[in-house]
Structure 1
Amino acid sequence: MYKIGTNRNGLSRELTDPLLRLHSPGDPNVKLVFTVMKLMNPGVNGTAVILDLKKLPKEEAEKLQRSFEEREYSSYTSSLIPLQRSLPDVRLQGCHTLYSDPNLPETSVIIVFYNEHWSVLLRTVHSIMDNTPPHLIKEVILVDDASTDEVLKEPLKEYVSRFSKVQIVRAESRQGLIRARMMGFEQSTAPVAVFMDAHCECFPGWLEPLVTRIAENQSIVATPNIHGVDPKNFKINEWGQGRRLGIPVLTFPNLLFSWSLMSERERKKRRRETDPVRSPAMVGCVIAVSRSWFKKLGMFDPGLEIWGGENAELSIKTWLCGGGLEIIPCSNVAHMYHPHRPSDENRIRYMRNLARVANVWLDKFKHFTDNYDGSLADYGDISDRIALRDSLKCHPFEFYLTHVNPDQVIPGDGIYTGAVRNAEMTTLCLDAGDRAQEGSNKVLLYSCHGQGNQRWELTEHHEIRVGGECLDSGSEPDVVWKACHGQSGNQEWHVVRLDEHVFLQSNGYCVGVTKDKSALVLEKCQKSKLQMWTWKQNRKPRMS
């Protein structure tokens, strides 16, 4: 054995025989790399491990490059970092004294892995065991979703045998993340379950806030503040906290999630930065839920395949069926986001999942999602899911849009929606153009076709947008589009109706057409047909 550093508890980091057995041919020659790169405690406190390809021997450099190509993260770099690497205490001021109840319920942590690199998987396990009070962990269940990597079989079993609370459950055939999580849940016994991805690292004090909130209210699904692990150098990137906390929201038409800032409405409800934050949606990488509440909600839809849609389904039905979803700011977990290679097979499976969620939970709003009619992928029998919804007497999806996230953007369901046609030049419409082709972000005046870059939406925040791009009045006299920032200002517009036409007004200026009728311009508002537009009003605002 040889020493490769120490962790914050002074425990020696040594490659023991069981750990050596986990190594595969693509892993680094640790002793050689430590010597060549002069590494000292690599990754300590979540710092990056930067490897200079020019200094590495050719064979090692090829391993490094190959590891990223094969796994979409650098397992080579991960193998150089102690399994028990220290992480800083990033909790907000006041968190340390809030969660000290010794009588919190026990938790089962369920981790699904499929050919995950052994160092990444074991660092997840070590971070749980090292940063959690022992009395809160009843069991850590590792669900092997039919991995083919030999080191994840007997060698992994031998290594985790040192943990009395860690067990491995193995699927005989590939189940996919969703059904494998269900396998782990069926094996679990604690009153609280935490579903966690196999590429996470838990900060000190991560679990107590989640379990405390669930103990206070069994119908709350709790998630931590999620930070990032860089897939190349394994640096822990601390993401927003306090006012900068990222809030997941659903995106249409694919029901994935995107990040948003906390709304002013939500901010005003909170007394302290440490208070839980209502969240319209969740990131699926770490989810804490009461066992009884999860079962009452019908768990994950067993008809969902492999991966995708399960976090949207759980988010929506939690809110519609009497529960709530919250981010707990005092809980911090880092998660490694890495790209997944697209394939036609995965796309079809996701489309199938998407249609199941839409047809069970979205009511008339399902028409704004992809594959709602099953034309791209058959979504199968959903009668049991509809029966579940009926038995729980859940709210309609309109409730979600009115009371949970009135800011929800649904392309095609804006307050005003569709083509914006000039009143004087009735064949020409506002067009976002194509920056790649035009080399500009100017909004164009173009022949009306009403599709794609001409499908404008007026949102609850008074944005006029196409997709993630918003009309912006900050480049007078030009009319431009920029990435939506949600902070009003130059992207706040008022649609002023005059008979059958509207004015598009921002900061005292109106969108009009130049006198030579060749381009768009921002100018002082006046009653000119060149400033008047025809735009379909779709509905009333959800917020006053």
Structure 2
Amino acid sequence: MEVFASVLNCCFKYIVLPVWIFIVLLLLHRDLSSWDGLMGPLSHPGLGENGSASYLSVPSWEIDEYTQGWRYYLYNSWLAERIPLRRSLPDLRDHRCQKLEYDEDSDEMKPASIIMIFRNEQLVVLLRTLHSLVERTPKYLYIELILVNDHSDTDFWNDKLSLIFFDNYVHRYIHPKARILHLPEQVGLIKARNLAASEAKAENLVFVDAQVEFTNGWLSPLLDTIAEQSYTLATPILDNLDEQTLAYQRSIERRGMYDWSLTRREVPLSRARRSHLPWPYEVAAVRTSVFAIPAVWFQDISNFDNNLRGFGAAELELSFKVWCTGGRIVQVPCSRVGHLQPKDEDYLKRYGDLHKMGEQKSRNLKRIIEVWTGDLKSAIYKYQPHLLNISEGDLNEPRKLYKQNECQSFKEFINDITPGLNHVAALNRTDYASGHVKTLEFPKKCLTINAKSQNLFLERCSTNNTLQNWTLTYVKDLRVAGNICAEVRPNLRLGYSFCHSLGGRQSWHYDSVSNQLMSNTKCLEFTDELNIFLAICDAANGKQRWILDNINLSVMQSANILV
């Protein structure tokens, strides 16, 4: 019996498996007009053409796949697999952009190294990004493509054979000389970018996310902008890829800036600035989904703080480094790229443990504040008081580099880039509400933790029950007992977990007019004392109306004001 089993094992290992690998690799070289390589035969050719919204009925036998895809990716991944890898997109540029001509042969406009960092992305979305990249980017504008897999470890990416298939596909259908780095351990976005930049050969770097789709003419305006002035970081307008239908939707030009809490905000352009569209304009805050920057300058400023971890506050730090070293961030309306950005920030769990990432982000913020903001850090800590108790570690090296580079002060940054902050007094940050959370229908029943089931339920209110004493905090989570937060489960039931301060399924907002307690796009509802869940918001539904004790209305009303 053992001999028979041994023979079967040898047959599989030396005959069946090699033949199977050969067949798959052979399929990878078939014409993609009817085959999408790794993705199999296309079942819906023409779906999503010209960036149109796609609507398909989900068969009953695929409902589980559809639901699980939403829970994991936080967008319609089931539909994403049924839209062809190659699809046309609309040209939504201003008509004047289409008439502009760029001197692409000049010595000033240098070709770029295009760099993509990814981790645990849905394969079909990543491949669609790559196809749109190479098919809408003239080959003479870039000399290499570098893909950095930051130790993806789920589904397709968790198998070594799958990585071989992926590499073969990229070299066959995307770029024959693409450099693909599969990192043996996760290093985080900041370090992965620095690693790729050190490997790049071009004089300009273009960093791109894995969940974007490129339109015609996207790269030339970016390279032309950084050619005009060497210390320039250029970004396109990020249009929206709808998370439900994957429709390509035009975004309105806005200006990114930071408030006193160092939270990024998108504000309307002034009338004067809007009158100069579609010409490029300067902004204070960069969005790093796609950006172009001179290679030498990026490498110079990338080494300011090698102890930043993960991805937290990466955009903030890069924005400060650019402006405070005498550079500028420029938004380029004649360059447009579609971006798939789930509204539910719980998608971040694909990149690692949320609690660990929350700790990394807080530590990163603390280091940035201590290095870059100088005398104004006390104003920022009024809005981020929890950071005062966090250890920032050794800052001798970044402070030394800060002085060596003769960086501008944060006060100069505000005066030059966000002068509006000078007219806003920094106030002590207070929470939105505290005390009991009750239903309007049964005001004597309070939201309570059930330690056994890890769900929340309604129980008779008691002033002595600390597990009923909730706080809707200034970081927009709903917490009890200091570090326990209400969290929406994948099945939309209300549970709880340790707080991570990253939003997502721990993000809450209270509408004091409709009395609805919302997490992302859904509202908290109950059917009885044990069944509390999130549902589509309905202001007429009495079971979605909640009372919060000790509401700070002035703080709630000022939440949407630049402070």
Aligned 1:254-403 pairs, distance under 5 A? 255-264=262-271, 266-267=273-274, 272-298=276-302, 301-338=305-342, 339-341=344-346, 343-367=354-378, 368-369=380-381, 374-403=387-416
Give 1:408 deviation, angstroms.
3.5
Separation in 2, partners of 1:225, 1:307: 22
SS in 2 for 1:294: helix
Give 1:121 deviation, angstroms.
0.8
What percent of counterpart residues are identical? 27
23, 38, 46: which one aligns with 1:19: 38
SS in 2 for 1:14: coil
Separation in 1, partners of 2:166, 2:423: 46
Matched, 1:246 2:248: no
- What residue number does 1:201 align with? 213
Aligned 1:150-161 pairs, distance under 5 A? 150=159, 153-161=163-171
SS in 1 for 2:144: strand
More helix by percentage: 2
Separation in 2, partners of 1:372, 1:82: 48
Separation in 1, partners of 2:163, 2:242: 27
Separation in 1, partners of 2:214, 2:303: 25
Give 1:319 deviation, angstroms.
1.4
Give 1:296 deviation, angstroms.
2.7
List alignment gaps of at least 5 residues for structure 2: 1-22, 24-30, 431-508, 517-549
77, 90, 93: which one aligns with 1:91: 93
Matched, 1:113 2:113: no
In structure 2, the CA distance between the partners of 1:234 and 1:451, relative to structure 1 (3 Å rule), is closer
- What residue number does 1:26 align with? none
Matched, 1:60 2:71: no
148, 152, 156: which one aligns with 1:147: 152
Contact 2:281 2:330 in 1 (8 A): yes
Contact 1:366 1:372 in 2 (8 A): no
Separation in 2, partners of 1:152, 1:239: 36
Contact 1:358 1:366 in 2 (8 A): yes
- What residue number does 1:191 align with? 203
SS in 2 for 1:141: strand
Separation in 1, partners of 2:313, 2:294: 20
Matched, 1:130 2:130: no
Give 1:79 deviation, angstroms.
1.4
Separation in 1, partners of 2:246, 2:513: 38
Superposed CA offset, 1:414-472 (max 9, x none): 7x999xxxxxxxxxxxxxxx97456589xxxxxxxx9954469xxxxxxxx62215xxx
Give 1:83 deviation, angstroms.
1.4
Q: 1:19 is aligned with what amino acid? A: L
Matched, 1:75 2:95: no
Give 1:198 deviation, angstroms.
0.7
In structure 2, the CA distance between the partners of 1:52 and 1:300, relative to structure 1 (3 Å rule), is farther
Contact 1:249 1:279 in 2 (8 A): yes
Contact 2:148 2:182 in 1 (8 A): yes
In structure 2, the CA distance between the partners of 1:380 and 1:374, relative to structure 1 (3 Å rule), is farther
- What residue number does 1:406 align with? 419
Aligned 1:511-526 pairs, distance under 5 A? none
Separation in 2, partners of 1:129, 1:299: 30
Separation in 1, partners of 2:255, 2:248: 19
Contact 2:148 2:192 in 1 (8 A): yes
List alignment gaps of at least 5 residues for structure 1: 2-10, 24-29, 419-433, 442-449, 457-464, 470-483, 487-544
Larger mean CA deviation between 59-68 and 105-114 belongs to 59-68
Q: 2:394 is aligned with what amino acid? A: D
Give 1:289 deviation, angstroms.
0.5
**What is the TM-score when the length of structure 1 is the normalising length?**
0.68
Contact 1:110 1:142 in 2 (8 A): yes
**What is the TM-score when the length of structure 2 is the normalising length?**
0.66
Contact 2:304 2:398 in 1 (8 A): no
- What residue number does 1:447 align with? none
Separation in 2, partners of 1:226, 1:438: 33
In structure 2, the CA distance between the partners of 1:371 and 1:137, relative to structure 1 (3 Å rule), is same
Aligned length: 404
In structure 2, the CA distance between the partners of 1:439 and 1:371, relative to structure 1 (3 Å rule), is closer
- What residue number does 2:434 align with? none
- What residue number does 2:231 align with? 219
Contact 1:313 1:357 in 2 (8 A): yes
Give 1:373 deviation, angstroms.
8.1
Superposed CA offset, 1:160-213 (max 9, x none): 112224220111101111111122111111111111111111110000000001
In structure 2, the CA distance between the partners of 1:324 and 1:48, relative to structure 1 (3 Å rule), is same
Give 1:13 deviation, angstroms.
3.3
Separation in 1, partners of 2:513, 2:89: 47
Separation in 2, partners of 1:383, 1:408: 29
Contact 2:367 2:392 in 1 (8 A): yes
Separation in 2, partners of 1:362, 1:335: 31
- What residue number does 2:54 align with? 49
Matched, 1:176 2:188: yes
